[in-house]
Amino acid sequence: MTQTTVTRLGPEDWAVLRALRLAALADSPEAFGTTAEREQARDEAEWRRRLSPDSLYVAGYLEDAPVGLAGAVNRAAIPSRDADRDWELVSMWVAPAARGSGAADALAKAVTGAVRAVGGNRITLWIADGQPRARAFYLRFGFTPTGRRGTFRRGDGSEFGEAELALEVPCPR
């Protein structure tokens, strides 16, 4: 099995973020809170803004080919979410050909480590209903249901149910 290499993305990596995000939306549009059309319309400046100090995005590579993406956003920077919950895992995706390769674990470990390194102590995520494989991964990784549910409304008027999961991130000693 080939090992996944994970790299933290900076503003200069905006094209990698864009390519992986669009691939994720093409593969699994029902799992995300936006549409491919909306993301395609974003300009370079917006993609660079996403890679700000309030976010931690990582890309996973197998044999130098990008195969996955995961990010965490400081909740204080998300106006629609509760700022008291530290960080939110966003944009987690692994290409179909790399599923089962360990890429998801490598991405989640990299994001968790990055959050820990900046003093975060909790990561939450919202998972769309109808995503049993992703839900099973998050539970196996250590996320637990918080009991909170919601309905996410996309800009195009579509909506989906979602559930919140959380992971306590122990501070380094």
* Per-residue pLDDT tens over the stretch 11-32: 999 999 999 999 999 999 888 8
Which of the four pLDDT bands, split at 50, 70 and 90, describes residue 1? low
pLDDT for the residue 76:
67
Q: Report the C-alpha gap between 91 and 55 in whole angstroms.
A: 11
**Parallel, antiparallel or unpaired: strands 87-94 and 65-74:** antiparallel
* Per-residue pLDDT tens over the stretch 57-84: 999 999 889 999 999 998 765 555 554 4
173 located within any domain: no
Domain range enclosing 120 = 5-168
Neighbours of 137 (CB within 10 A): 18
CATH assignment of the domain containing 49: 3.40.630.30
78 located within any domain: yes
pLDDT mean over 85-90: 83
Q: Report the C-alpha gap between 115 and 86 in whole angstroms.
A: 9
Tell me: pLDDT of 41 over 70: yes
107 located within any domain: yes
Task: Give the end-to-end CA distance of the chain in Å, rounded to a whole number.
Answer: 33
pLDDT mean over 136-162: 90
pLDDT for the residue 84:
47
142 located within any domain: yes
Q: How far is CA 29 from the centre of its chain?
A: 14
52 located within any domain: yes
29 located within any domain: yes
pLDDT for the residue 22:
96
The burial of 33, by beta-carbon neighbours within 10 Å (0-12 exposed, 13-18 middle, 19 or more buried), is given as middle
45 located within any domain: yes
The count of structural domains within the chain is 1
